[in-house]
Structure 1
Amino acid sequence: MNKSMAAVLISATLAVSSPAGAHTEAYFDSIAAPHGGQMRMAGPYHLELVTKENEIVLYVMDHADNKISAEGGIGKAAFQVGKAKPKTSIKLESGGDNTLKGAGDFSITPETVVIVFVKLPDQEAQSARFTPLKPKSKTTAKKPAEKTGTGKESAGEHGGHHHHDH
């Protein structure tokens, strides 16, 4: 019995320490990004997109969220709404440290998708899709339920379906 318990513990440890390559959009949306933007994975990088009025800052990090120098790097951010072809694109250039920055006339709505292309010196070009204002499903689902009190009722409806095998 001790051997099987040890095997379970080892398996659980391996599952927790799985490669960072498994980061999904849902994972990134569930954590707070270091600069308050939205994070996505692009090849060997974690990219964080921060949009301000007419300015874009893209932070480049490795999978452990350590800064990667963007010196000499270039990029492009293309803005797409719905299925339409991207209307606006902004050139991104090294902004010092681990950032690529660009400025231009753009507006972002919850339907806006920002497709970012990044090319750092001696590295392959990478791309990532961002939806900076996309509502987080967790918060939008909870708020109305808390106000109306339906959250508790639905929890009660599902509470009777848990069965334990002995």
Structure 2
Amino acid sequence: MNKSMAAVFISATLAVSSLAGAHTEAYFDSITAPHGGQMRMAGPYHLELVTQQNEIMLYVTDHADRKISTNGGVGKAAFQVGKAKPKISIKLEPGEDNTLKGAGDFSVTPETVIIVFIKLPDQEAQSARFTPLKPKPKAQSKKPAKKTETGGESAGEHGGHHHHDH
């Protein structure tokens, strides 16, 4: 009986850890990306998209955030606003280290969706969908933290009463 309980516990633990490693958009939106951009997962890669005036930079790393060389790689960024078809497409070419970069006449709004396609040598092509200026849902996650803080204060007061009774 103990062995089967242990097996159930181990498989449950594995299920939880594999979910934690999935790196959802919510997970990436909750962390600060190394270069201040937006991160997404694309197959075996973590992609970080950084947009500046008329310039786009894509940082490519593996799931352990180690740099992956982009030498010989190609990419494309398709810009879409609302339901319109992609109006702007920018070619991405290898830059320094683990980057693909491109330049063009584009503007990014909170409604802008950028779909990035990359193909590195001897690897399958991958794509990821970015919404660089989409408001992050951080305001909601702060509220529960405040409740915990006030809970901590009342526990402290309770502790004070207990001490007083002593």
Q: State the 1:96 CA deviation.
A: 1.8
Q: Which residue pairs with 2:97 in the alignment?
A: 97
Q: Which runs of 5+ in 2 are unaligned?
A: 151-166
Identical positions, percent: 83
Deviations 1:22-74 (A, max 9, x none): 21111111111111100001111110000111111100011111111011111
Give TM-score scaled by structure 1 length.
0.76
Please state whether the residue corresponding to 1:28 is helix, strand or coil.
Answer: helix
| One-letter amino acid of the counterpart of residue 92, structure 1 | L
Q: Letter of the aligned partner of 1:70 in structure 2?
A: T
Aligned-residue CA RMSD (Å): 2.7
Q: How many residues align?
A: 147
Q: Does the C-alpha gap of structure 1 residues 33 and 122 become closer, same or farther in structure 2, counting only changes over 3 Å?
A: same
Name structure 1 gaps, 5 residues minimum: 146-150, 156-166
The equivalent residue for 2:49 is: 49
2:131 aligned partner, one-letter code: T
* 1:78 equivalent in structure 2: 78
- Please tell me whether residue 60 in structure 1 is matched to residue 60 in structure 2: yes
- Structure with more of its chain in helix, by fraction: 2
Partners of 1:69 and 1:19 lie apart in 2 by 27
Give distance in 1, aligned partners of 2:21 and 2:93.
26
For 1:107, the equivalent position in structure 2 comes to 107
Note closer, same or farther for the CA distance 1:108–1:6 as it changes in structure 2 (3 Å cut).
same
* Higher alpha-carbon Rg: 2
